[in-house]
Amino acid sequence: MKPIKVGLFGLGTVGTGVVRIVEAHQEDLQKQVGSPIEIAKILVSDKHKARRFTVDADKLTEDPAEIINDPEIDVIVEVMGGIDLAKKTILSALEKGKHVVTANKDLMALHGSELLAVAAKHNCDVLYEASVAGGIPIIRTLIEGFTSDRITKIMGIVNGTTNYILTKMSQEGAAYEDVLKEAQELGYAEADPTSDVEGLDAARKMAILSTLGFRADVALEDVTVKGISGVSKEDILYAKRLGYEMKLLGIAERQDDLISVSVQPTMVKTSHPLSTVNGVFNAVYVYGEAVGETMFYGPGAGELPTATSVVADLVAVVRNLKLGVNGQRMFVPYKEKKLKTDEQIASKYFILLHVEDKAGVLAKITQVFAEHEVSLASVIQQPNEANPDAEIVIVTHDASKASMNTVLRHFEGMDVIRNIKSVYRVEG
């Protein structure tokens, strides 16, 4: 029985997992696709590097062209990361008629539409389940599972590093800087953690998810992004007192075909399932008009969870190959993208103010909210021995982003307000 030959680009954590799964599950894979699947060639940066996983040296190459130009290789699996080389490699493979499986969220968020268009032109598959939420099959679910439904909201924890940091801050009362250092030592955070902690990684994933969920071409620059580097122990403490947990949430919403997508630290009510997603785990909450609310939970990264998603895509490509339908089930956004304005984006807000400790201050503050038609759900003023100023905590009802921005600008000009300490979205 002739095997389906695969070219693997990258033999790092995920690449090693792909090789392990394909070799260990060969019997199951053959039953599913009707022929063996063979990792024929593997692109590495150094063939002579010592590796923790033994691979046939004859399969290793440092030349991408050796894989791309091999007529016996049907499928390319790209797990090397990066953008420029990966894009060049995938485009070359598609032009040669090879199908592609990738785990590259950065590439798909920035150039996914272009790659999918080239793939469609050459009747090739490009599948990318592993690019978002590791082992959680959320992409296939959005494309196939919600085909007959209309998704109105996608909300999720899609970055394990930031969730680990916020979980430790909440459970142990630790400071952000201390937990970040610990996360780096454990390998959860990179030496340069900017992409994770400033929300860029999550933003790329939300661009992909909202494109799939709303059938419109949502670009990275359409995502409003705020990271967790400004979250303090004080913020976490107030959240817990009010019955919330702090999470970095990606939130994509659609109403009357108008879309908004953001990534931001958010206070999530403890009664909401996302509030209990801790550590490096991911979860995506999807609202459909027909199905209602659903949640998908699991490991968001790691060798075998991510590799499992890659191999699942590989199986899907091979099945299509056997049926002769490659490129016919490609997802291409078909709806016009219409973004909400700040006047149309509404949510509840948490605001922590440091103010002069004297009579009449609270009345002045509530008057500003009233003037801009922002309704208040609760107002708490209490002493803080560590702060000579008074602290006022406000939670609003739903208010437009434009109104809140106007209120905050007004606060900046008020002498009685010493500091706008924190402003967070509230969910649940």
pLDDT in tens, 55-64: 888 999 999 9
Residue 194's pLDDT is what? 96
Amino acid at 196: D
Task: Please return the burial class of 221, using the count of CB atoms within 10 Å of its CB with bins 0-12, 13-18 and 19+.
Answer: exposed
Judged by DSSP in three states, 258 sits in: strand
Mean pLDDT within 99-104: 96
Average pLDDT of every residue of the chain: 94
What letters, b where the CB count within 10 A reaches 16 and e where it falls short, cover 375-398? Answer: ebeeeeeeeeeeeebbbbbbbbee
**Separation of first and last alpha carbons in the chain:** 55
Q: Indicate the angle between helix axes 303-323 and 13-24, nearest 10 degrees.
A: 60
Domains of the chain: 4-134+303-323 (3.40.50.720), 138-299 (3.30.360.10), 346-427 (3.30.70.260)
Q: How confident is the model at residue 52 (pLDDT cuts 50, 70, 90)?
A: confident
What does pTM read for this prediction?
Answer: 0.92
- Chain position carrying tokens 């990534």: 263
Amino acid at 10: G
Mean pLDDT within 320-333: 85
Q: Looking at the predicted structure, is the pLDDT value of residue 167 above 90?
A: yes
List, in sequence order, the alpha helices (H) in 198-251: 200-214, 233-241
Which positions are catalytic?
205
Q: How confident is the model at residue 290 (pLDDT cuts 50, 70, 90)?
A: very high
Residue 1's pLDDT is what? 77
DSSP secondary structure, 353-415, as one string: EEE--STTHHHHHHHHHHHTT--EEEEEEEEETTEEEEEEEEEESSEEHHHHHHHHHHHHT-T
Residue 223 · residue 261 · CB < 8 Å: yes
